[in-house]
Amino acid sequence: MKRIFIIILTLAAFSCNNTSEKSEKLNVVTTTTMITDLVKNIGGDLVEVNGLMGAGVDPHLYKASEGDVSKLYNADVIFYNGLHLEGKLVEVFEKMESSDKTQVALADRLDKTNLIGSDYFASNYDPHVWFNIDYFKEFANQVASVLGEKDPANASVYTENAKAYNAKLDALQKEISAVIQSLPVEKRILVTAHDAFNYFGSAYEFQVVGLQGLSTATEAGVQDVQRLSDFIIENDVKAIFVESSVPRRTIEALEQAVRSKDHDVKIGGSLYSDALGDPGTDEGTYIGMFRYNVNTIVNELK
């Protein structure tokens, strides 16, 4: 009898603990791995972050599972990229608009005057804004301000965390600018599977050529491959790149097309475009991903 009593007490204490923890921490759901990493940096131990997409996942094609929908409905705050990056989730987000949930499309909150226009997306803008570090710094400030509104007692912690994180991004800016300076401007031609790098290109004077267009939802045709293979030969581009979240076959077709015209080109490695690397690795963070991409691109194009 005594033993049963103890067990019941322990269970009661355990479940009590659980609920109190749940109510203390903000429950935040994020979409892309870049945003998940950012919110973990700003929220620290104060928030519970549930990222829907993992490494190597293509956000253009990602559909919400039933599990995702229930995570979204249970969230206090949802952070996503917006500008129709998560094209198949738009409907889910719209359905939830009537609920009192805080939904924040970070890229939609940017000043649109300097964004790159695009006809591919219903938003009319290229959504791959995280490749401009200045925009990612604005994401950090937005995340801190939204978390502070939802959890005013810790608002100053979120602000401080954003400040500290943005200082790291400033250091990253300096570091990669120096690396890119070592590559002559005429060699700065970035050929990849899809046009994820336009903001990167405009920030660092790269000419960016994507085989598939801005979204991975449309496949590259034979004509695109031919046109681009001529471009590579004319400009003597040494390397082209695959991406971790896009199938390799389109870039391999391009490599073959160039070689069939007696010209040499190599696949210069895999870049992270719309998703970070595996959790626990350097490339599993936004900062590590950026550093890896820049070093890979510059080393291969030199």
The residues binding Zn ion (CB under 5 A) are: 196, 274
Give Cβ neighbours of residue 162 (< 8 Å, ≥ 6 apart). Answer: 42, 140, 141, 143, 144
CB of 230 to Zn ion, least distance (A): 25
Nearer to Zn ion, 32 or 154 (CB): 32
CB of 37 to Zn ion, least distance (A): 17
Nearer to Zn ion, 275 or 294 (CB): 275
Residues in the chain: 302
Nearer to Zn ion, 81 or 154 (CB): 81
CB of 127 to Zn ion, least distance (A): 7
Give Cβ neighbours of residue 78 (< 8 Å, ≥ 6 apart). Answer: 28, 29, 30, 72, 93, 96, 101, 102, 103, 104
Residue pointed to by tokens 């250091």: 171
**Crossing angle of the two packed helices 155-181 and 33-43, in degrees rounded to 10:** 130
Nearer to Zn ion, 68 or 126 (CB): 126
Task: Please give the Cα distance from 194 to 251 (Å, whole number).
Answer: 10
Nearer to Zn ion, 86 or 274 (CB): 274
Secondary structure of 184-233 in HEC code, one letter for each residue: CHHHCEEEECCCCCHHHHHHHCCEEEECCCCCCCCCCCHHHHHHHHHHHH
Query: Within a 10 A sphere around the Cβ of 70, how many other Cβ atoms?
Result: 11
Nearer to Zn ion, 46 or 61 (CB): 61
CB of 138 to Zn ion, least distance (A): 20
CB of 276 to Zn ion, least distance (A): 13
CB of 126 to Zn ion, least distance (A): 9
CB 210 within 8 A of CB 192: yes
